[in-house]
Amino acid sequence: MEDPRRLIPRTDALLADPRFAVARERLGHDRVKAVVTAAQRRARAGEIAPQEVAQTALAALPRGTTGLRPVLNATGVILHTNLGRAPLSAAAREALQLAAGATDVELDLATGARGRRGRLALAALAGAVPVAESVHVVNNNAAALVLAATALAAGREIVISRGELIEIGDGFRLPELLVSTGARLREVGTTNRTTPDDYRRVIGPETGFVLKVHPSNYRIEGFTSGASVAALAALCMERKVPLVGDIGSGLLRPEPMLPDEPDAASWLGLGADLVTASGDKLLGGPQCGLLLGRADLVERLRRHPLARALRVDKLTMAALEATLNDTDTPVSRALGVGAAQLRQRAEHIAGRLREAGVGAGVVTSEAVVGGGGAPEVTLPSVAVALEAGLSVALRHGTPPVLGRVTDGRCLLDLRTLPAEDDETLIDAVRGAAACG
């Protein structure tokens, strides 16, 4: 009996196939060949039949020049870290296209001399928070804290409450991050209670700065107290040490939907000397770290040698500028959309699916901010309810659809899905149901 492995198509024959030839033009010979040989290995191992090699390899080829795949976020988590946090606005995406070519990112066209890198994005950031004397941008919020600690407290102490020694995600802990800069931590208070007097007792000649951290991804309830920004600002002014505040989630101004979430303008107005924040969370922009505050401190950080290693590229600056100039971002829409509008969309989607023979209902749901922001807040939402078994097929579809399985049902929460994607969602669910 002939060995079935002899039926596996040869590499040269597969690469000569017009479908693979087109892919080679787009992705390059080596990348396509690697996918083909991987499919051949699966056939030799008996995982697929020889006649399935070509189709398996074609299915494994990236649909674009990158292996990243766009997905539909119906999880109910607005800033889903695993899905890249804030989706960029149309204006930001257009800015990325423009910035991809040669631009005047660091050139003053009027004089022909070198210009300040990202000056338009920095001007937009300064305009968004007028109370800030100066601003700077680095590649993420952790980098902003590292730069502040290195420039202001290397070899000295950072005074911080024990209740604010947080873990920031993926096992990265704030204390370890700060100590890596050569600074020493001077912990005050307890996990649940810290007072201004706790800070007062330890601030001295070795203090580089006092750090106030908003614990954005958890909350402590019960017998608790903390020192306010205003109280710490008064103490720091008295002792002539800077107060650095990490608001984390990236609000530049108060957000009515999130009244307890701190924002940069408010903390600066209360007396913080320097505030750090993330650009890819509630601001709704690209990943970056924002530094806002006293001009002398920002300039000291900007001129520090480490700032060169932490600077952002022209694409980030372009997307940030566009985000700051755009009041209608996907994040702002997800926060502000009303439950009645969501229910109307859900009823329409469920009706279309039932017409196609797919069991679908409409249920009340709860969405969350995510990304380490506003852990105490749930947002009223509406979801399309499907049988739980469809969740796997939806995740493997084109495009993949991410929902959540709750109480034996797959819920597709519409607060995190733009209305313009409703038809794509309907087609994806139909396809998943057909495969099931």
- For residues 418-429, give the mean pLDDT: 95
Residue 225: pLDDT over 80? no
Q: What is the predicted pLDDT for the residue at 47? A: 83
Token reading at 197: 């007097």
Under 8 Å between Cβ of 390 and 436? yes
Token reading at 162: 């024990």
Residue 182, by phi and psi: left (phi above 0), alpha (psi -120 to 50) or beta? left
Give the residue from 358, 355, 377 showing the smallest Cα distance to 367: 377
Query: How would you classify the pairing of strands 134-138 and 289-293?
Result: antiparallel
Backbone angles phi, psi at 250, to 5 degrees: 95, 10
In sequence order, what are the beta bridge partners of 277? 248, 290
- Amino acid identity, residue 122? L
Q: Which residue has the tokens 């749930």?
A: 378
Residues 355-399: pLDDT tens digits? 999 999 999 999 998 877 777 788 999 999 999 999 999 998 888
- Amino acid identity, residue 233? A
Label residue 1 by pLDDT band (50, 70, 90): very low
Higher pLDDT residue, 186 or 222?
186
Could you give the CA distance from residue 106 to residue 119 in angstroms, rounded to a whole number?
8
Local structure of 345: helix, strand or coil: helix
Token reading at 22: 């087109």
- For residues 240-266, give the mean pLDDT: 91
3-state SS string for 15-49: HHCHHHHHHHHHHCHHHHHHHHHHHHHHHHCCCCC
Could you give the CA distance from residue 259 to residue 201 in angstroms, rounded to a whole number?
32
Token reading at 278: 């993330």
Higher pLDDT residue, 216 or 249?
249
Residues 57-91: pLDDT tens digits? 888 887 766 667 889 999 999 999 899 999 999 99
Cis peptide before 399 (omega within 30 of 0): yes
Could you give the CA distance from residue 102 to residue 27 in angstroms, rounded to a whole number?
24
Q: How far is CA 101 from the centre of its chain?
A: 25
Could you give the CA distance from residue 159 to residue 212 in angstroms, rounded to a whole number?
9
Q: What is the predicted pLDDT for the residue at 30? A: 86
Residues 205-219: pLDDT tens digits? 999 999 999 876 666
Q: What is the predicted pLDDT for the residue at 370? A: 84
Under 8 Å between Cβ of 92 and 285? yes
Q: What is the predicted pLDDT for the residue at 46? A: 84
- For residues 241-265, give the mean pLDDT: 91
- What DSSP string describes 122-180? HHHHHHH-TT-SEEEEESSHHHHHHHHHHHHHTTSEEEEEGGG--EEETTEEHHHHHHT
Which residues have C-beta within 8 Å of that of residue 66, sequence separation ≥ 6?
A: none
Q: What is the predicted pLDDT for the residue at 2? A: 57
Name the pTM for this structure. 0.84
Token reading at 283: 């601001």
Under 8 Å between Cβ of 382 and 428? no
Residues 306-334: pLDDT tens digits? 999 999 999 999 999 999 998 889 999 99
Q: What is the percentage of the chain residues whose pLDDT exceeds 70?
A: 94
Query: How would you classify the pairing of strands 401-402 and 207-213?
Result: unpaired
Could you give the CA distance from residue 92 to residue 318 in angstroms, rounded to a whole number?
7
Under 8 Å between Cβ of 278 and 248? yes
Q: How far is CA 163 from the centre of its chain?
A: 25
Q: Report in angstroms the alpha-carbon separations of 241 from 152, 159, 348, 364.
A: 10, 10, 58, 50
Q: Which residue has the tokens 């989607």?
A: 349
Residues 181-210: pLDDT tens digits? 999 999 999 878 899 999 999 999 999 999
**Residue-averaged pLDDT of the chain:** 90
